Amino acid sequence: MDRHLVARGAQRAPFRRFALWIAPWAVMLVLGAYAIYLCLSKGLNQTNMDNRFAFGLWIFLDLSIIALGAGAFFTGFLVYIMKRHELRAVLSSAVVLGFICYSGAILILMVDVGQPLRAWFTFWHPNVHSMLTEVTFCITCYLTVLAIEYAPILMKNRKLKDIPAFLVFEFELHKVMPILAGVGTFLSFFHQGSLGGLYGVLQGRPFAFREGIGIWPTTFFLFIVSAVAAGPSFILLTTWLVSKISGKRLVTDNVSRLLARISGILLIVYVLLKSVDTLGWLNKTVPEFGLSGMSFFLWAPFNVWILFLEVVVFGLVPALLLLAGNKQLRVGWLVFSSFLVCCGILLNRFVMTIQTLSLPTLPFDKFMLYSPSWQEVAAFLFVVAYGVIVYSLSFRYLRLFPQEAGAIRLQGD
């Protein structure tokens, strides 16, 4: 039915099966759209957030997908700036994933702002002393970069390529890609950092507060390093997932191993920095507040196990597997390690958002737990469904993996 639109040389499932795959996600999308409509029309009283819990599921989602979306800028950086051309095999997929992550994050932020019609205020009257302002400017600009990077991938569609205007624009856009990759890297470094800095500057929240260098708390740097460490792992994991779901071999093993090695090296650096930072915070920052570091881990379910899980199980273990086992282990183990890395980044962002706000900060404060309303969950699922649908359409109609057609021949590599 839609064969004439599928990339040449790529074999895709019949349209009927593809439609069946899309259907449940479309239902989820519609449900999420309704929840978003409720939030926009009736206000944020549709959520379980309040003045104490001003950050909830949506901010956790934002932080997580922006961190995972770092694979896009980092792959672009590695290909165009560091000249690791073998990663071209996953570059288009990384761009699409990045575009989905950032557009999803901005979409949910628009709902979270409460009055999206006034979202432009942040640009028109920026408070340049706020980390959030930097984040807003950077992710908006970076989404623009990703949209520009997505355009040539779209214009390579089998039918669109036949239109001369698209052909030449795509050809010329390719020439400026290194500039865009550079700009994307610059923007990403800053907004990943500022998202971390956002928590590090919270003096009233000793659990999150960190000292640092100049105006930048250590969380600024930790967020950057953790995002660039998780980015390649997320690309590896999604490529494997798409490969399993579609039943196609999309990249050669050496590409997977390279991604794993890059992720492993950066993760080791991150684990080291995180450990030093945690020790410094426990032994210097917190005592200066007149508190005991371990007092923050007395509140179930956020006991010390969560720190162990984050640093050791989701940090050190996958880092060692990715690095030490890079050549010996089967790709499946590397994918499993990447899964652990992605879990680690999600847990870190969860801890920074939810645990920070749950813990009491004043003597009369109580420990609070927050659970999202169905509207929040549905809006969250809207972004997930949106991502799956956009990626599925891109995978079906665009050439996301240039090695796909030739990969069959390379079986057994």
Partner 1 sequence: MLPWVYGFSWETGQIVFLTIFYSVVGILIASCGLAAVRALRDLKSKNLDGIRWHVDFNDLGDFARTCRHVFTGDVSDRICPNGFDCRTCRFHREFAATKIAAGEATAGMAPDREMSRGLRMPLDRLYHRGHTWVRKEADGTLTVGLDEFGKRVLRNGASAELPRAGSMLTVNGKGWFLLKDGSRIRVLSPVDGKVVETGGPGSRFYLRVAPPDDRDLRHLLNGEEIRPWITREIERLQMALASEEVGIDLADGGELVEDLTMNYPDADWDGVWREIFLEP
Summarize as ranges the residues that interact with partner 1 (CB under 8 A).
Answer: 3-4, 6, 8-11, 123-129, 133-134, 137, 141, 144-145, 148, 156, 161, 164-165, 167-173, 175-176, 179-180, 183, 186-187, 247-248, 399, 402-403, 405-406, 408-409, 411
Measured from the CB atom, the residue of 34 and 186 that comes closer to partner 1 is 186
Measured from the CB atom, the residue of 150 and 234 that comes closer to partner 1 is 150
Q: Please, what is the minimum distance in Å from the beta carbon of residue 8 to partner 1? A: 4
Task: Please count the helices (runs of H) and the strands (runs of E) in the chain.
Answer: 17, 2
Q: Please, what is the minimum distance in Å from the beta carbon of residue 85 to partner 1? A: 11
Helices within 208-252 (DSSP H only): 218-246
Task: Measure CA 269 to chain center.
Answer: 19
Q: Please, what is the minimum distance in Å from the beta carbon of residue 41 to partner 1? A: 29
Distant-in-sequence, close-in-space partners of 241: CB < 8 Å, separation ≥ 6: none
Measuring CA to CA, which residue among 151, 156, 137, 142 is closest to residue 74? 142
Measured from the CB atom, the residue of 8 and 327 that comes closer to partner 1 is 8
Residue with tokens 């971390």: 196
Measured from the CB atom, the residue of 14 and 287 that comes closer to partner 1 is 14
Separation of alpha carbons 121 and 396, rounded Å: 39
Q: Please, what is the minimum distance in Å from the beta carbon of residue 303 to partner 1? A: 41
Separation of alpha carbons 108 and 58, rounded Å: 7
Please give the C-alpha separations between residue 160 and each of 99, 153, 155, 175, in angstroms, as whole numbers.
20, 10, 5, 19
Measured from the CB atom, the residue of 92 and 337 that comes closer to partner 1 is 92
Q: Please, what is the minimum distance in Å from the beta carbon of residue 392 to partner 1? A: 18
Distant-in-sequence, close-in-space partners of 389: CB < 8 Å, separation ≥ 6: 22, 25, 26, 29
Q: Is 409 helix (H, G, I), strand (E, B) or coil?
A: coil
Q: Please, what is the minimum distance in Å from the beta carbon of residue 92 to partner 1? A: 12
